[in-house]
Amino acid sequence: MNFLIGPAIIGIVAGVVDARKKAHRPMKTPPLARFPALRLRRPRQAAWSRRLFSETRLSASDLIQAVILKDGKNIREPIAAMPGMFRLSPDEAVGAAREAHDLGIPALALFPYTDADARTPDGEEALNPDNLMCRAARAIKDAVPEIGLMADIALDPYTDHGHDGLLRDGEIVNDETVDILVKQAVIMAKAGYDIVAPSDMMDGRVGAIRAGLDGEGFQNVQIMAYAAKYASAFYGPYREAIGSAGVLRGDKRTYQMDPANSDEALREVALDLAEGADSVMVKPGLAYLDIIWRVKSEFGAPTFAFQVSGEYAMIKAAAGHDWIDGERAMMESLLAFKRAGANGVITYFATDAAKVLRADG
Ligand code: PBG
């Protein structure tokens, strides 16, 4: 009997611990049979069975396509560090929106490229109601009104120092930046964005943006908080894509999180949810699957992963050398986010992945 009671007690203790941590899909009991009665390879033998036993599904509905904008017309400018990605003028972005929508992708996340000479110390272009982001949103909403649009809220595409906030005497100042971000969020809502996504990591910005949006009658505009955003090397290609690579002075470690920290991510998420975030994001993605798992387990809130530019670049670069199967690596990485507990993924691969999903039926 002892050999049964032992595992039972372990099972109960583990169950209590799991319940306290609210881990999703906890293993309730240890496997009862043993080899050779138990053969975990048995269900893997046929394709029908592998499908039946599959625990996680990826669908086009889980994906948000990241789009890089550039001013002009008929522009599709290759981004060197992101093979297969292009800077798109608003008219081309309309085409991308239509294609994404036809593939069942619910939303796009837009980011603007800005020339170095159009940038200023305080990034005033962020508050121009006719800036590239606003014009692109209006064009897309005219042509494809059903698609959701998400705007990044931060100043880095517009500042001449490449930081997400205002730089005063060598410091990124918090509260003064938040005041501008609120204005930026309202301008994005007016242009037609459905989700504003503060990516700046200033303290207190989610609550301030919520109040600012509500004050202007935008109660239904959502906030997706870049809640746990790390100071990461994986943003490199993005900075080239939006024209920040050459201009960024120093690094972002006084506002983005230390990659060593995990408890702190939960505090960031708790704070953003308490301030009214509708959903939270963990960024980057693949190196932070444990954070996604903890965030989802702890809060059960809508949780998104951002598969960032460097993750895209790594897969594309290796695939370009025939060192990995790019399509399989793309699908496997996206599935991993869902398995870790993410509700969805912001990714440069969304359209490509949706095509694969469609072909696979
Ligand atoms: C900046 C911002 C960044 C990304 C999205 N918003 C870069 C940064 O913080 O320097 C990264 C996206 C990517 O790498 O794909 N507010």
- Out of 2-6, 101-105, 299-303, 317-321, pick the least confident: 2-6
Model-level pTM? 0.92
| Percent residues over pLDDT 70 in the chain | 92
Q: Would you call 22 a catalytic residue per the annotation?
A: no
- Index of the ligand 1 atom closest to the CA of residue 200: 16
The two beta strands, 344-347 and 222-229, are unpaired
Per annotation, catalytic residue among 70, 141, 229, 252: 229
pLDDT reported for residue 29: 76
Atom number in ligand 1 closest to CA 309: 15
Is 21 catalytic? The answer is no
pLDDT band at 24 (very low <50, low <70, confident <90, very high): low
Of 352, 356, 360, nearest in space to 96 by CA: 352
Ligand 1 neighbour 352 (Cβ under 6 A): no
Going by their DSSP bridges, the two strands 344-347 and 63-69 should be labelled as: parallel
Distance of CA 191 to CAs 45, 129, 149, Å?
53, 8, 10
Q: What is the mean pLDDT of residues 22-43?
A: 80
- Token look-up 């929508």 returns 101
Q: Is the pLDDT of residue 10 over 60?
A: no
Can you spell out the DSSP letters for 184-219?
A: HHHHHHHHT-SEEEE-S--TTHHHHHHHHHHHTT-T
Q: Is 240 near ligand 1, meaning CB less than 6 Å away?
A: no
pLDDT at residue 115, as a whole number: 87
C-alpha to C-alpha distance for 222 and 210, rounded to whole angstroms: 9
CB atoms within 10 A of CB 258: 9
How close is the Cα of 43 to the center of ligand 1, in Å? 42
pLDDT, the chain, mean: 93
Question: Residue 23 pLDDT > 60, yes or no?
Answer: no
